[in-house]
Amino acid sequence: MPEVSRSELLAARGSKNSVDPRRPYAFLVEQELSAAGNMEDVATIFLTNKECPFSCVYCDLWKNTTNGSVQPSDIPAQIDYALSRLPPATTIKLYNSGNFFDPQAIPPQDHGAIISRVRHFDRVIVENHPSLVDEKCVRFRDELGTELEIAMGLETVHPDVLPRLHKQMTVDDFCQSAAFLRQSGIHIRDFVLLMPPFMPAEMAVHWAVRSVATAIEAGVTCTAIIPTRGGNGLMEQFAAQGQFSPPTLTMLEDAFAESLGLPDLEAHSTRVFVDLWDLEKLYNCPRCGPLRKERLQQMNQQQRILPEINCDCLTPDS
């Protein structure tokens, strides 16, 4: 199947949600296991700004973006709005449906105002495309004066699938950016997709675990495995063509367990999490679904494999 053009990608979409450039589209405090092994409160702010220019085929984050760049002072106002309504936390995530160091998304002239609002946190986490990793990240970290962590999407190391995701990067690109960040004293987390489009179902777990292993080798200290979801229009087209199907809950459990069992995990002090957002969509049993989610949550917090949940409904592909 030939690569999807940007015009085809845009044509498959529905409409965007209504957003306010002076308000984040969501914010919350969640708990996450820290690198030190403690449970900490993390304030996560989903900033409203211009859509990411890379337009990956699986992405649905464009739904909560603006058509043009936000104005200077809009992003600091969004942070103020969220922090005034959130309880205290030790870490903050500034997620912006794209790339923090894209000047069309986050005005560089706002960096100082942003820093003044978040420098009291122990750690600040932002997301960024590997191709936008450069000295700007280092300057921001220096001015920040606290721990900086940059999250990047590796997605998959499958040599045929990654080029078709419209990610516009290679595995080498990711590893080179990770090396630059590591040498600059900036922490790295990454995202790995379980069952992206074009991935054979029987190979989904293998390639997810292999992608986690590659991230560990690249120096990533925190990896999140994300079950690929539909809902952006294009994914539904792929599903109709037999090019995509959502992963099963069993796939996610197996990928997580195998990743936690990787021999280099403890040696590199790396944490692996599974993303539990909308996990209910993967349930096929009202009895064991919540119990299996709770098990995954506990594995996120304990970083060890826990006994599997037994249920009459469970089959190899449930």
* 13-28 pLDDT per residue, tens: 999 999 999 999 999 9
Taking residues 205-223, report their average pLDDT: 97
Is residue 308 assigned to a domain? no
Is residue 24 assigned to a domain? yes
For 5, other C-beta atoms within 10 Å of its C-beta total 10
CB 33 within 8 A of CB 300: yes
Tell me: pLDDT of 7 over 90. Answer: no
Longest dimension (CA), the chain: 58
pLDDT (0 to 100) of residue 229: 94
pLDDT (0 to 100) of residue 269: 82
Tell me: pLDDT of 233 over 60. Answer: yes
pLDDT (0 to 100) of residue 315: 61
pLDDT (0 to 100) of residue 8: 86
Is residue 77 assigned to a domain? yes
Spatial CA neighbour of 38 closest among 317, 305, 302: 302
- In the chain, what percentage of residues exceed pLDDT 90? 90
Is residue 194 assigned to a domain? yes
Is residue 86 assigned to a domain? yes
Confidence of residue 316 (pLDDT cuts 50, 70, 90): low
* Full DSSP string of 78-98: HHHHHHTTS---SEEEEE-SS
Taking residues 242-262, report their average pLDDT: 97
Task: Report pLDDT digits (tens) over 34-92.
Answer: 988 999 999 999 999 999 999 999 999 999 999 999 999 999 999 999 999 999 999 99
CB 37 within 8 A of CB 86: no
Taking residues 277-290, report their average pLDDT: 93
CB 220 within 8 A of CB 189: yes
Is residue 309 assigned to a domain? no
pLDDT (0 to 100) of residue 146: 97
- For the chain, the average pLDDT equals 95
CATH code (residue 275): 3.20.20.70
pLDDT (0 to 100) of residue 32: 97
CB 65 within 8 A of CB 95: no
Taking residues 185-197, report their average pLDDT: 98
How many separate domains does the chain show?
A: 1
Is residue 15 assigned to a domain? yes
Q: Which of 2-11, 140-149, 158-167, 228-237 has the lowest mean pLDDT?
A: 2-11
pLDDT (0 to 100) of residue 2: 59
Is residue 224 assigned to a domain? yes
Task: Report pLDDT digits (tens) over 106-151.
Answer: 999 999 999 999 999 999 999 999 999 999 999 999 999 999 999 9
Confidence of residue 4 (pLDDT cuts 50, 70, 90): confident
Domain extent, residue 35, equals 6-302
Task: Report the distance separating Cα 209 and Cα 261, nearest Å.
Answer: 10
Tell me: pLDDT of 266 over 80. Answer: no
What are 77's two structure tokens? 């106002």
> In what helix (H) or strand (E) does residue 11 lie, and over which residues does it extend?
helix 6-11
What are 142's two structure tokens? 């220096």
257-280 burial by CB neighbour count: b if 16+ within 10 A, else e?
Answer: bbbbebeebeeeebbbbbbbeebe
CA distances from 226 to 78, 143, 212 (A): 26, 32, 11
pLDDT (0 to 100) of residue 183: 97
Spatial CA neighbour of 136 closest among 169, 170, 104, 100: 100
Tell me: pLDDT of 210 over 90. Answer: yes
CB 139 within 8 A of CB 117: no
